[in-house]
């Protein structure tokens, strides 16, 4: 059994520095996630973050607390937090394929739906995370 946490947040990054900063976040997060045995995926639209983290409860909790304290995020909103039997991003300490500004509207629609109906909306967001994660 694994803990799973799907959240969305608003980026507080300055637009002209956002891409470099997200690359730094990914570079730091990948080894940290491996150390915690956490896998997952990140989507960044330029305005919002969408991330799914999965793994041992203590590892996911440590990352969750870190994200809630991180000044680069505001309005961190949990879409889904539960226990799962299988990981969706096995093999990825953090799947991230770069900025996804072109899907910003789709992500925004998924977030809006998630806030109305977490089950349906979380399925939309997880599907997007899969589609925009780099292939092995």
Q: What is the pLDDT of residues 67-96, one digit of tens each?
A: 999 999 999 999 999 999 999 888 788 777
Kindly list the distances between the CA atom of residue 36 and the CA atoms of 1, 45, 52, 94, in Å, as whole numbers in the listed order: 15, 26, 15, 12
* Per-residue DSSP letter, 95: B
Task: Tell me how far apart the alpha carbons of residues 34 and 46 are, in angstroms, rounded to a whole number.
Answer: 26
Chain segment 18-37, per-residue pLDDT in tens: 889 988 998 999 999 999 99
Residues, the chain: 136
Tokens of 22: 């997200």
- Residues 6 or more apart in contact with residue 126 via CB below 8 angstroms: 6, 52, 88
Residue 114 CB neighbour total at 10 angstroms:
24
Tokens of 49: 């973050």
Chain segment 111-125, per-residue pLDDT in tens: 777 778 777 777 777
Taking each helix axis from N to C end, the angle separating 57-69 and 18-36, rounded to the nearest 10 degrees, works out to 150
Q: What is the DSSP string of 42-71?
A: EEE-SSEEEEEEEE-HHHHHHHHHHHHH-T
């Amino acid at each position: 059994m694994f803990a799973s946490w799907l959240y969305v947040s608003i980026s507080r990054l300055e637009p002209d520095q956002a891409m470099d900063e997200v690359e730094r976040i990914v570079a730091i997060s990948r080894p940290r996630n491996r150390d915690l045995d956490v896998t997952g995926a990140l989507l960044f639209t330029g305005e919002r973050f969408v991330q799914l983290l999965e793994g041992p409860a203590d590892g996911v909790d440590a990352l969750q607390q870190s994200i809630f304290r991180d000044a680069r995020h505001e309005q961190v909103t949990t879409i889904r937090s539960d226990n799962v039997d299988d990981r969706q991003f096995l093999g990825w300490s953090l799947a991230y394929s770069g900025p996804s500004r072109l899907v910003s509207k789709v992500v925004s629609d998924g977030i809006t739906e998630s806030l109305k109906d977490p089950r349906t909306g979380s399925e939309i967001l997880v599907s997007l995370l899969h589609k925009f994660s780099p292939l092995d």
